[in-house]
Amino acid sequence: MSDILWIRRDLRIHDNPALVSAIENGVSIAVFISTPQKWHQHHLAPIKADFIFRHLKQLEAELADLGITLLHLKATDFDDQAKQLTELYQQLGSQVVFANSEPEVDEQARDQQLISSGINLQISDCDVMLPLGSVLNQQGEMFKVFTPFKNAWLKEVQAKGIQCSPAALTSKNNAKALLPDNLQTLQLASDYDFDFPRVDSSRWPLSQDVLGNVIPNFLANKVNDYAHLRDIPSVKGTSGLSPYLAIGAVSPRWLAIQLIQQQPDLLFDTQLPAFSWLNELIWRDFYKHLMFHHPKLVKGANFQQKYNGLDWYKDHPSFKAWCEGKTGYPLVDAAMRQLVETGWMHNRLRMVVASFLTKHLLIDWRWGERFFMEHLIDGDFSANNGGWQWASSTGCDAQPYFRIFNPITQSEKFDPKGIFIRKYIPELKNIPDKHVHFPHGYIAKNGINSEYWQPIVEHKEARLRALAFFK
C-alpha cells in the first residue's frame, strides 16, 4: 500500500508543500498524468511541452534520491486523468493523494469530481507568494487596482512574512517502491513524447543550474540594475525566470524570500532599485489572485463588461501580417519574429505588440492571447490574460483606452540604435540608426531596393480610429 504524490504544475523539490506532506507520510509513489488533448485545447506551446518534459526527467532523478518513484501516465483530457488517478489509487490501496493547487475552472472541477468520488485529495498552495484570497480590501473583496493590492500585500508580508516549505528534505523510505506488475512499464522513458509536439528548449538551462548559479548571480549583480535595463530589449536586463515560474520549476515564494533576506528594506522603501523586480513578482500574484476571485476570466470574458459590445475587426490578413512580423513597423516585427523563433518575447515588447494588435488593428485581444500561448515557453494563463486585457483596456486596472503606444517612438526610446531590430530583421541592417525605426521614407528617397514590407496601417489614422472605436 502506498499513498500518492500527484505532480502537476510544481516540477520542483524546493518549496513544495505537497512533497513535504508526502515525505512526512512515507509516500513512495509519485505520478504525473499528461493530457495532450487538454494541452491542445489550452494552446500549450511545443517549446513549453519540451521544457516540461526535460524538467520531469530532472524531477524523476531528484525524487528517486528521496526514495520516491515517479510514474508517468498518459490521459486524453481531465476526465480521463481523473479516471486514471482513481484506478491507480485503488490499485495501490492508497488512502491519500497529495497535490498542489491548480485554481483554474476546469482543474477545480476535476479535483471536486475526484473528491466526490471518494478520493482523499489533500491540496496545498505553492504558486503564489501569499495564499489566494488572503489579500483583500476593507470590504473583504479583491482589489480592482494594482497599487492598493501591492500596498496591502506589503503590509501583510511586513507583519507575517512569506511562508515557505522546509528547504531540506530527508527521505523516510528505506526501500524502493514495490509496484504492481502492470505499472512497471509506466515509468518515464527518455523518448516519451506525451503524444504532443515538442520544440527544442535546450537554450534554457534546467532549474538545477538556475537555482545554483543564475539566480544567485542575478540577485548579487543584476537586480539593482533591473529598473533601468528591463525595458531595453537588446540587453539581457531581465531575470529570465518566467519559464521556470510558469511550470513550477522555481518557487515564487522562495525567490521573494531570497531577495528580501538580501535587501530587507525593500518591504519599507519602494524607491530602492531592486523593488522594481519585486514589484513584478507582486504583479504576478495580483493576476493569480484576480483569476481566483473572477474565474470568468478563464472563459475569455472581458473583466470590464462595458466593453462586451466592442465589435472587434475580423481582419485575418492583418492578423496574419502581425503573426508573421510583417506589419511594416520594425519594432513590432522584430518582436514577433523573436517570439516565433525563440519561444520568448521581451516584456516591454509584449506591451507594444499587444497594443498594436488591439489599438492599431482593432483585432480581438483573445486572438493575440491565444497566439502567445501557442508560442511562449513561459505561457502562463493568468499573466498572459492579464497582460492582454491590460493592453486592450478591457481588463482590471488596464491602461485607459486612449493610451495608444506609438510603435515608432517606443522603438526610438528603447532600441535607439536599432540593435534589437537588426538582430531579427536583417533586411534593415544597412539602414542608418535615425531611420531604422520607420525606414520607408528613407528607402524611397534613396531608391534603395529593400525587401522590407510597407506598413499595413498608418499610425495617426489608426490612433483616431481606435479612439472612435472605444468611445
Q: Does the annotation place 204 within a ligand binding site?
A: no
Task: Give burial (CB, 10 Å; 0-12/13-18/19+) of 442.
Answer: middle
CA distance 405 to 410: 7
Active site residue 322: no
Provide CB contacts within 8 A for 42, sequence distance 6+.
373, 381
Q: Does the annotation place 286 within a ligand binding site?
A: yes
Q: Does the annotation place 231 within a ligand binding site?
A: no
Q: Does the annotation place 242 within a ligand binding site?
A: yes
Q: Which of 153, 204, 283, 390 is catalytic?
A: 283
- Residue 33: phi and psi, rounded to 5, are -115, 105
Q: Does the annotation place 244 within a ligand binding site?
A: no
- With contact defined as beta carbons under 8 Å apart, do 339 and 377 qualify? no
Q: Which of 39, 254, 388, 390 is catalytic?
A: 388
Provide CB contacts within 8 A for 60, sequence distance 6+.
70, 187, 188
Q: Does the annotation place 85 within a ligand binding site?
A: no
Q: Does the annotation place 329 within a ligand binding site?
A: no
Active site residue 254: no
Cα distances from 167 to residues 160, 355, 470, in angstroms, run: 19, 42, 50
- With contact defined as beta carbons under 8 Å apart, do 438 and 408 qualify? yes
CA distance 114 to 81: 10
Q: Which three cell numbers stand for residue 161?
A: 512574512
Q: Which of 102, 224, 312, 427 is catalytic?
A: 312
Q: Does the annotation place 422 within a ligand binding site?
A: no
Q: Does the annotation place 141 within a ligand binding site?
A: no
Q: Does the annotation place 380 within a ligand binding site?
A: yes
Q: Does the annotation place 283 within a ligand binding site?
A: yes
Q: Does the annotation place 270 within a ligand binding site?
A: no
Q: Does the annotation place 297 within a ligand binding site?
A: no
Q: Does the annotation place 280 within a ligand binding site?
A: yes
Q: Does the annotation place 287 within a ligand binding site?
A: yes
Rounded-to-10 torsion of CA 421, 422, 427, 428: 80
Provide CB contacts within 8 A for 371, sequence distance 6+.
323
Q: Does the annotation place 239 within a ligand binding site?
A: yes
Active site residue 312: yes
Q: Does the annotation place 50 within a ligand binding site?
A: no
Q: Which of 322, 365, 367, 390 is catalytic?
A: 365
Bridge partners, residue 123, by sequence: 99
Q: Which of 347, 406, 412, 453 is catalytic?
A: 347
Active site residue 367: no
- With contact defined as beta carbons under 8 Å apart, do 9 and 127 qualify? yes
Q: Does the annotation place 379 within a ligand binding site?
A: yes
Q: Which of 280, 406, 427, 453 is catalytic?
A: 280
**Strand ranges, E, within 119-162:** 121-124
Active site residue 39: no
Q: Which three cell numbers stand for residue 187?
A: 515509468
Which segments are annotated as binding site? 226, 238-242, 277, 280-287, 378-380
Which segments are annotated as binding site for FAD? 226, 238-242, 277, 280-287, 378-380
Residue numbers annotated as active site: 280, 283, 312, 347, 365, 388
